[in-house]
Amino acid sequence: MPSDLDFEANQQRTMIFLHNLRFKTSRPVVSGMKQPSSRFKSRVGRIGSYSDFTKLRSISPGAALVLAAEYDRMRRVSNVPAAALDLERWAPNVYATLMQLGFFELLGFSSSKLLNGPAEDPDPSLHIAPMQMGDDVNLTQAEDPLLKLFQEAGGNDELRVQLLGAVVDAIENVKGHAYASMPAASLRLIPPLWWLSGSADRSSKKLTLSIYDQGMTIPFTLPTHWSPRDIRSTIRSLFQRDFDPGTSRDGEVIRAAMELSATATGKHERGKGLAKIRQVVARCPGGRLKLISRNGIYTYADGREIVETLEVPLLGTFVEIEACFDVGGME
């Protein structure tokens, strides 16, 4: 466990930790925490898999969402409930972030088990939306929380409606594409779910939203949705080089997927929602879109696009949106 879990401030170590966590837990758990026995009277038994959260000094909401999704997956696959140790030693800000996002509730912790956790006063101007998750065929779980979140952000109605529609479209596309080509053997260990969290600052009219799925990534699925000719042509026009189906240029592939989906007409491809999100973010002062999928990172902010390729992959697709709905920023 690194001291900071953050896709910005501590990107590489965060990616390594999450990748290793998936690797260590990618098979069903046959035994979790065992009850104390006569041999282990002085301690809380033996633990099969353990991450020391007392070492964690800060965690971003986006990283918290991906972390929660990993523990939710483990719980569903193994049918073994998670356990939290030494809560009183956790950093107050880490505990508060996870509590507000509904991390403990998602994993089935009772309130009586959390009384010893450190307390931190919440920001009264900040509305934290509890994490939502849904399966491959059901979007209803997120509708009311999403609507509430956008209402709390306030500000320009037109921009909020446009972004909300694009976000719903992006989640719908997860249902249609993220898990469609995943082998049955993998689906037994990776339930076809999406996870969502967000916050709204009432004073600044700023909304932050994160969406994550553990399905087949954008670089992997792109060749199944677009012709090789379209992909090669787009890569050449953007980067003046040939298409590389490996992982070494995943950032460029995500950028190409964004361009293809933005120029498509009458097609409901995965990524279309992301292109719509970028359009709305471009109209918001201080707006920002970050997308991580496999080894690629795509960032859009202030009219600039940045593509990067990581050494360690994210096993899924993560989308983070920052948008300010201040009327003064309307074009």
Note whether 226 and 264 are within 8 A (CB).
Answer: no
pLDDT of residue 327: 55
pLDDT of residue 289: 93
pLDDT in tens, the chain (331 residues): 899 999 998 999 999 999 998 888 776 544 444 433 333 333 333 445 578 888 999 999 899 999 999 988 888 887 776 677 788 888 988 888 888 888 888 777 766 666 666 666 667 777 788 888 887 556 666 777 778 888 888 878 888 888 888 787 777 777 667 787 787 777 778 888 889 888 888 888 888 889 999 988 988 888 887 888 888 888 888 888 888 777 888 999 999 888 887 765 445 444 467 888 888 888 887 889 999 999 999 999 988 999 999 999 999 999 999 988 875 544 4
pLDDT of residue 313: 93
pLDDT of residue 308: 92
pLDDT in tens, 107-161: 777 666 666 666 666 677 777 888 888 875 566 667 777 788 888 888 788 888 8
Note whether 301 and 289 are within 8 A (CB).
Answer: yes
Enter the DSSP assignment of 270. T
The Cα 129–Cα 139 span in angstroms is 16
Q: Domains in the chain and their CATH numbers?
A: 1-26+51-121 (no CATH), 123-331 (3.30.565.10)
CA distance readout (Å), 122 to 20, 95, 96, 173:
32, 11, 8, 34
The structure's pTM equals: 0.85
pLDDT in tens, 236-275: 888 888 887 778 889 999 998 888 877 654 454 444 678 8
CB atoms within 10 A of CB 230: 15
Q: Which residue, 103, 132, 133, is CA-closest to 117?
A: 103
pLDDT of residue 31: 45
Opening angle at CA 143, ends 138 and 144, nearest 5: 135
pLDDT of residue 317: 93
Tell how strand 58-59 and strand 4-5 pair up.
Answer: parallel
pLDDT of residue 148: 82
CA distance readout (Å), 286 to 9, 160, 179, 207, 280:
19, 15, 33, 11, 12
- With a CB cutoff of 8 Å and minimum separation 6, the contacts of 106 are 68, 71, 72, 131, 133
The Cα 22–Cα 147 span in angstroms is 32
